[in-house]
Structure 1
Amino acid sequence: MTELKWDGKVNVDADQATFTFTVKNNSEQPIILEFPTSQFYDYSVYNAQGERVYDFSKGKFFLQALQFKTLNSGEQIQWKSMWNYKTNKAEKVPAGKYTVKAILNIWKINDKLVHSKPSTMFKFDIPPENTPFE
């Protein structure tokens, strides 16, 4: 297995959360990542009760074409996605604790099928409205 690291973090402000997803090649050799579509990642947001409140890919369409990304040793790629604290039905979620579960939507690494997509999970808080941010 390659030394591929998939990770995520969040930056929270008054109106939205900005998620940053990073894939990094920690091996000594270059690796070629193959994606089946133009969708490189997917994620869902869950509330403190474990209920899914938002799906990134729901209602979106992605180009159905193979995509290739080459990562040299130590190289990384980052993607950013903003979430406006609304469900897929455009309802604002309340302040509180939330969890993001994200997957790297990869199909092959160095021309070998990936049977288990890399995933990551992280938690964050949506503060009550009118809370100052530092």
Structure 2
Amino acid sequence: MSGNLGNKEVKLSVYAWENSESVKFIITLLNNTDSEKIFIFRTSQKYEIHVLNPEGKEVYRYSKNRFFSQAIEYVNFAPGEARRWEETWDYKCDGKRVEPGQYIVLVNLVGKAEGVKTPIAKDMFTVY
């Protein structure tokens, strides 16, 4: 990452807040630009969440076994506007609890906006 903290771009962040039974992912999208951004979503899904184990293998994918309505949606983000979502994962992979260890969560926005690179966010958390 460059040293320019005043970067005028669309920013996606994720914070993993774990407890003994699950982890809550707090996802925030911020339009840190001076212009409105219009995101086009082809389904009702707004983001994808991937959790990787210490070996780098995917153990959770938000969209797996979920269905999303098939409708095009245009979402306007005013300059400085932020949206926040929360999702919870119960530490299960194929019906079994994952092993203790450090995990990585990656989140990407599935919508597209003209002139905006696909925002991706990353955090780490520990399963005890």
Aligned equivalent of 1:97:
102
One of 84, 94, 107 as aligned partner of 1:78: 84
Q: Alignment identity in percent?
A: 31
TM-score normalized by structure 1? 0.84
Task: Give a deviation string over 1:107-131, Cα, whole Å, max 9, x none.
Answer: 3x1xx386x522122111112xxxx
TM-score normalized by structure 2? 0.87
Aligned equivalent of 1:120:
121
* Equivalent-residue separation in structure 2 for 1:17 and 1:68 (angstroms): 30
* Equivalent-residue separation in structure 2 for 1:39 and 1:94 (angstroms): 29
* Equivalent-residue separation in structure 2 for 1:91 and 1:29 (angstroms): 46
* Equivalent-residue separation in structure 2 for 1:25 and 1:120 (angstroms): 14
**Matching residue's letter, 2:103:** Y
Task: Give a deviation string over 1:74-97, Cα, whole Å, max 9, x none.
Answer: 11001110000001x111112110
Aligned length: 121
Q: How does 1:1-134 map to 2 (within 5 A)?
A: 3-87=9-93, 89-107=94-112, 109=113, 112=114, 117-127=118-128
**Matching residue's letter, 2:12:** W
SS in 1 for 2:92: coil
